Every structure is written in C-alpha cells, then in structure tokens.
Structure 1
Amino acid sequence: MQSEGPRVLLVEPFYGGSHKQLIDLLQQNISGCSVFTLPAKKWHWRARTAALHFSQTLPTCPSHRVLFSSSVLNLCELVALRPDLAHLKKVLYFHENQLVYPVRKDQERDFQYGYNQVLSCLVSDVVVFNSVFNMDSFLSSISSFMKKIPDHRPKDLDQLIRPKCLVLYYPIQFPDVSRPKVEYKVVSSPEEMPDEAQIGSGEFPSLGNQQEDPHESRTDQRPVSKRDPGDQMKPLHIVWPHRWEHDKNPELFFSTLMKLKEKEVDFNLSVLGENFSEVPGIFSEARLRLDPHILNWGFLPRGAYLEVLLQADVVVSTASHEFFGVAMLEAVHCGCYPLCPKALVYPEIFPAEYLYSTPEQLFKQLQRLCRRPDIVRRHVVKVDTSSYSWTSLKGHYEALLSTRCP
C-alpha cells in the first residue's frame, strides 16, 4: 500500500539559528514533514519577498494538511497567491515579534514588518508564541501600533487574534552534561577553532550522583553539580554567550566588568556567541582592556562551546530584548548560575534571586560572587530546565502539527 505522501509543510524563510534548529527538530522527530526553506541571509528581504518565492516553489500536493511557518513569512500574501493552501491548518510560530523588537529610535521602525505579522495572524488558524512575554507584548501593542496609520484605522484586531493564540516554549535539545572539563585557548578567528569532530566524541563519565531515566533522551538530562574541591580557589569564570549585537547590550556587560577590574576584583571571562559584519565597537575595546582575564573570545563550534559552559560559573544576560533565551537556559543546564535583567521574558523563567533591576545591582552581585566563588560552586540553580526540553514538549508539537485545531 502506497504512502499518502507528506502531511505537513514546514516553511522557513530564514533558515538559520533557532529557526533552523526548530525546523530540523520537527522534521527529524515528526513523521510526514516536508521542508522548504531559504538561507538565513538578508532578513529584511526575506520578510518582504519570501511569500512570492514560496508561491512558486511549494508543490501542489493533495496529502498536505498542515502548513507551519515562522512569522518571518507573510502568510497573508502566500495564501492569496496560492489559494490551494487556504484550506490547510495554518500554524504561525513567533520566535520574536516586530511590534516591540528594539530599534535605536522609534522613527527607524519599519511599519511594514509588524503589519505583515498582524496580517499573518489574521489568516492563521493557530498562532504560537515561544513565551508568555512574547504573546502579551505582541497582543498589547497592536492597538498603539495601528495608530501609526494616519486614518481609517482598523479596530479590535487583538480581539480577533487572541482566541487563536497559545504559548508553546521553544523546545531545546539540551546537551549531555556528563562531560569532562577541558581547557581551551582563546579563539579569535575561524582558523584557530578546534575541530568539533575531535571534541565531544567518545564516552564520558557521569558527574555527581546523576540518576538516568531509561525513558528519557540522554540529551535532555537535568542539570547536575559539576564542581570538585579543587575548583574552589580558581577565580570566578563569567560567560557571556550571546550574539555580538546592540540589542544584547554588550556595553552594560563590559562596563560592569571594567568596573570590577578597577576595583581589583579577580575573575575569568569567556565571551562567546556569533558575531556579524557590524560588531559593536565596545568588543574591540573590551578585548584590550580585559585581556588578562580572557579565557575564550569569539565563536566556538558546538562541542567546544558546551565545554566552556561546563567550566563556567556564572552566565550573564544584559539583553535589552529577549523573547525566550536559549543560550541562558543551555548555560544553566550546564551548571552556570544565571544573572538576568528583571524584565522581558526572564521573570517568566528565572526565580527572583537570579534577577537584577539596575546596573548597580548587577555589579554588586558579580562583585559578591567574584569574592566568594564557592557560593556559586555549591549552588544548585532553581530552574527546571527539563520543562523546556524536547522530551517534555514533543507531545505538544505533535498535537500542534496534527489536523486538529486546539
């Protein structure tokens, strides 16, 4: 008997980063998926023109029942250009939303991107957000956003969209944290990067008294204590694992560390994450001024990156925008103590003891921990990362991609 063919269309106009990870995860774990993507380049052009591209490249297939896409796609345009897709269950996934995405000045905000997302919601059957913060900030901003229209403004769009909305956390395939500590040299260019195939291969001993659940994937293990008594005298190891862009507020992070240095407080530093063509100037200044403290600097392949997280003590976010925060949760899973702004998505995920309200509070917390790193090394972070794992969330995504609407 012949298979009826692919049931789910996974469409991703910006196939990179967390967008790629989600599409790959769904394709690998849910049967009946067919994937159509565009490379993660020129985001603004993808948001403007991807619908036209996919209208010409998506096949006509009677077995298709569900269309899943990120909100980068203008779903309204795609369905208008391809009316044969209109009968599918249309699922729109928000990794971020353009109504509150930070820009230097509000006058720089391109109205069209947020407007496209609103239109896409109106033609969707299900609108999924990766956090309550993402959903609430989007829905509560629609009314004021539409006031930018000079006249004949639409009304009550949030009331039309809200019944379709649900929150489904981004599913993380957490690393196996049963790895040994390995020291890595400072990395400043791709040529210097260690070969990922040589890192993280083979079997590793478990850390602590970890009990394994035979029904749970080894990539979704709970965080464990990773410290031994020999670590207690080492300086506090601070890690910053974010994109090198202004919306992650590197200026606040580095100014805090420079203040620690001026106070002659000892620490070690790893600055990881991707950097792009326009790197904020603070990075070059910080590398010079903080050089004696730096253990790792720059992008690392996955295996080396995880080893650094396992060695680190504290992970810091200074973001001025965050709708979920995979990097922070991965670091916590690897045993890092988190320090996050008391804003954005963070209060939704992290207890109050890990949140700071002002730059001065961040400085004081880091100063205290630098002087008493043993506090961190004995501490078990009160965040259940398994709640955000693919193992926990798989059933919800399977239901989402079924033909039933919630």
Structure 2
Amino acid sequence: MNILLINPFHTGSHANWVNGLVKYLPEIQNDHLTCWTLTGKHWKWRMHGAGGHFADRARSVDWVPDLVITTDMMDVASFRGLLPAHWRKIPIVQYFHENQLTFPWSPNDPELKTGRNRTYEFMNIQSAAAADSIWFNSAYHRDVFIAAASSFLKGMPDHTAAYSPKKIHAKSRIVPLGIRDKPSPEQRRTMNRPPVILWNHRWEYDKGPDAFFDKLNLLIQSGENFQLILCGEQFNAIPEAFQRIQDSHGARVIHSGFAESQAQYGELLQQSDLLIHLPLQEYFGLSVAEAMSSGVIPLLQRDQAYPEWVPDEFLFDSDEEFLAKWRAALKRPSALRLRAHAAVEPFFWSNVAIQFIDECRMVTPHAH
C-alpha cells in the first residue's frame, strides 16, 4: 500500500507522530510511506492555506497514493476540491490531534475578541465531513468534538445536514499516539531527596501553568520540599506563570529550557520522580505518557482524557487527595514507577504501528 502522510504543522506532537510512523511502519509492513510537511508556524494560515499548497504539489508528481492521511491542521474540504481530478477519489483520513471547537483559546487572542475563532471551529467540522475516515487520539476527544459540533450546528439557521455529527461519529476511529518503546524502570531506582518534579509540556496557556504553580505553592505550604525540571517546547509568548515559578521557586530549579536532543530529554526524564499536570485541555497526554514510560509517577487531574487510560491511583479531584497521593508516591516509588510504565505499554510504537496498519487496511481494503 502506498500511503501519503501530509502534516501541515510539523512540530511538537504532530512531528513526533510523523517521525514515529516513518521509523516504525517499515518494521511492521512493507508499505511505502511518503511524507509531505510544512513547518510548524502560522497555524491559522496553515488551516486556510495548506489545502491549496498540497493540492498543487499533487499536480507536480507522476504517481497516485492509495491513501492520504492528514491532520486537523488541514481543511480537507478545500484540499479535496483543489486536487487534480485523478486524485479526488483517493480515500482521505483526518487525524485529530486537537480541535478548535473545544480547544481553550488564549483570552489575549484577537480572533477570540472578534469572533473569528468560529471560522476555525467550522473548518474542523467541514473538514471532518469531507474526510472518508476520522481518527481521534482518544474516545474522550471524539466525544467532546461530536458534542461541540452538535452545539455549534444548532446555532446555525438551516441546511446543516451535510455536516451531520452522527455521520462524523459513524466514520470515527480511536487511534492513540505512539511513544518510544522503553524497558521497565529499574527496581532499585530510588526517589531523589528532595523529589524532582517534572514539567515536560509546551510552555503555553492551555497546558495549565497557573494551576501547576498553585500546586507547587500548596506543597510548600504543606511542609513538602522538591526540586524542579522545567523542559518542553517554548514559543515567543511565554505565560507569566513561568516567571512566577522562577521568582518563587528558582532555587529549586535544576534545569530550565527545551531539551535540545532526544538523548538530553531522556536523561531529564530519568532524573525526574513525579509529574504534576492540570491542563485546560488534554485530548491524549503525549508528554505525560512519555514521562510515565521512563518511570515518572504522574499526579493528574481526574478529568479529560486521563481517566480513559491512567490508573486511578494517579488521579485526584481535590487538594486533599493530591497531597495524599503525593505522600503515597514518596513511600512506595518503585511499585508506582512500574505501574506507570505498564499503563503506557499499549502506546509503544511497536503496538501502535500495528493498529495503524490495520486501520489503513479498513479504509483501503483493496490496496496492495
């Protein structure tokens, strides 16, 4: 089978997804995978303009794929409409890493103030309607998208049948993100004193840095101590919470800044003991899964995608439950490290790649 993978926003988890498929799919099957990408910049323009760009690129090649897979950063409707005629019947899968209907927009975004954010919301609905199959990274993500699309369309005056959320749901599948296969953490790996808390997410508003800062303060007020590793991708506008963390807890920070290589990232994960995360949105939790694969013990809000795959012993609803689970982790780190690792084994690329191929076969049953 000849698969064309199009990634209009090639950075972060979107790039990790593509790179993992490129690495692991050939080890599973002899299918041919071609990747077309654009840099991970100007996301709003990517959603508007990527369809035309990649349709033009399709005109420039002398081959036709059996299947096209792209992401939520592509408007499949405009892409399909602009394709050359001999490409238009090729099945298209759209993979939703995020969606604009339920993604928490920054209150400082000018599009939110003018209402133009709804343009991107409808683009996601229209795109899903135009795709042959939609893959979500979690059942939670599928469910909130379908509910939000239904609510959006109820606000329109008429003629919404073409965008039916029921039809979108019927062609939806759950295909998780993949992470690197890693061996179980060593039994003799002890807890640092004081323990090291990891932040390995994007330094952005939606990842909840304010709530993270609040939990750090709660630990200090409760007589607990800790060290901090702050890594993850950074952009031009860094939330003020990170400066407050530096001002209040700078002496506890043993690393701050993006890991420049996979090797350095792996070392930082190995140095870490616990991860605290209370994001405003989490459709899967890739950075959390990566940390857990290295034996980092997560403490997560019992919300969003996490209850779907994270054991309940790592989830909390209240400050009291958070502190109780923090203290439990300090008492039996070895057992909890192993539990964390086991919880993410289904997401190892060696497993996800097999599911990926099976799902491709379902969309293109006659391809060879």
State the TM-score bracket (shorter-chain normalisation): 0.7 to 0.9
| 2:144 aligned residue (124, 137, 148) | 137
Spell out, residue by residue over 1:90-142, the C-alpha distance to the aligned partner (whole angstroms, 9 max, x if none): 11111111211112467656112121121222221111111111111111221
Residues 1:128 and 2:135 aligned together: yes
CA distance in 2, matches of 1:291, 1:23: 36
Aligned residue number for residue 259 of structure 1: 218
**Alignment of structure 1 residues 324-343 onto 2, 5 Å:** 324-343=284-303
Aligned residue number for residue 186 of structure 2: 225
Between Structure 1 and Structure 2, the one with more helix by share is 2
Aligned residue number for residue 86 of structure 1: 88
Aligned residue number for residue 373 of structure 1: 330
Name the amino acid aligned to 1:327.
S
Residues 1:17 and 2:12 aligned together: yes
| 1:297 aligned residue (256, 263, 269) | 256
Name the amino acid aligned to 1:34.
T
Name the amino acid aligned to 2:10.
Y
Residues 1:40 and 2:40 aligned together: yes
* TM-score normalized by the length of structure 1: 0.80
Shift of 1:359: 4.4
How many residues were matched structurally?
A: 349
- The worse-fitting range, judged by mean Cα deviation, of 65-74 and 377-386 is 377-386
CA distance in 1, matches of 2:259, 2:277: 19
Shift of 1:63: 3.8
Residues 1:270 and 2:276 aligned together: no
Is the 2:201–2:287 contact (alpha carbons within 8 Å) kept by the matching residues of 1? yes
Aligned residue number for residue 312 of structure 2: 352
Shift of 1:276: 0.9
Aligned residue number for residue 404 of structure 1: 365
Judged with a 3 Å threshold, the aligned counterparts in structure 2 of structure 1 residues 63 and 260 are, in CA distance, closer, same or farther, namely closer
Is the 2:298–2:314 contact (alpha carbons within 8 Å) kept by the matching residues of 1? yes
Judged with a 3 Å threshold, the aligned counterparts in structure 2 of structure 1 residues 334 and 300 are, in CA distance, closer, same or farther, namely same
Shift of 1:221: 3.2
Shift of 1:244: 0.8
* TM-score normalized by the length of structure 2: 0.87
Judged with a 3 Å threshold, the aligned counterparts in structure 2 of structure 1 residues 45 and 234 are, in CA distance, closer, same or farther, namely same
Judged with a 3 Å threshold, the aligned counterparts in structure 2 of structure 1 residues 35 and 262 are, in CA distance, closer, same or farther, namely same
CA distance in 2, matches of 1:35, 1:232: 42
- Provide the secondary structure at the position in 2 that maps to 1:290: helix
- Provide the secondary structure at the position in 2 that maps to 1:91: strand
Judged with a 3 Å threshold, the aligned counterparts in structure 2 of structure 1 residues 256 and 63 are, in CA distance, closer, same or farther, namely closer
Shift of 1:222: 4.1
Name the amino acid aligned to 1:111.
R
- Provide the secondary structure at the position in 1 that maps to 2:101: coil
Identity %: 26
Across the aligned residues of Structure 1 and Structure 2, the Cα RMSD in angstroms comes to 2.3
Judged with a 3 Å threshold, the aligned counterparts in structure 2 of structure 1 residues 247 and 233 are, in CA distance, closer, same or farther, namely closer
Judged with a 3 Å threshold, the aligned counterparts in structure 2 of structure 1 residues 93 and 50 are, in CA distance, closer, same or farther, namely same
Residues 1:74 and 2:81 aligned together: no
Unaligned runs of 5+ in 1: 1-5, 175-219
Aligned residue number for residue 279 of structure 1: 238
Is the 2:191–2:273 contact (alpha carbons within 8 Å) kept by the matching residues of 1? no
Return structure 1 stretches of 4+ with deviation > 4 angstroms.
Answer: 104-109
Shift of 1:147: 3.0
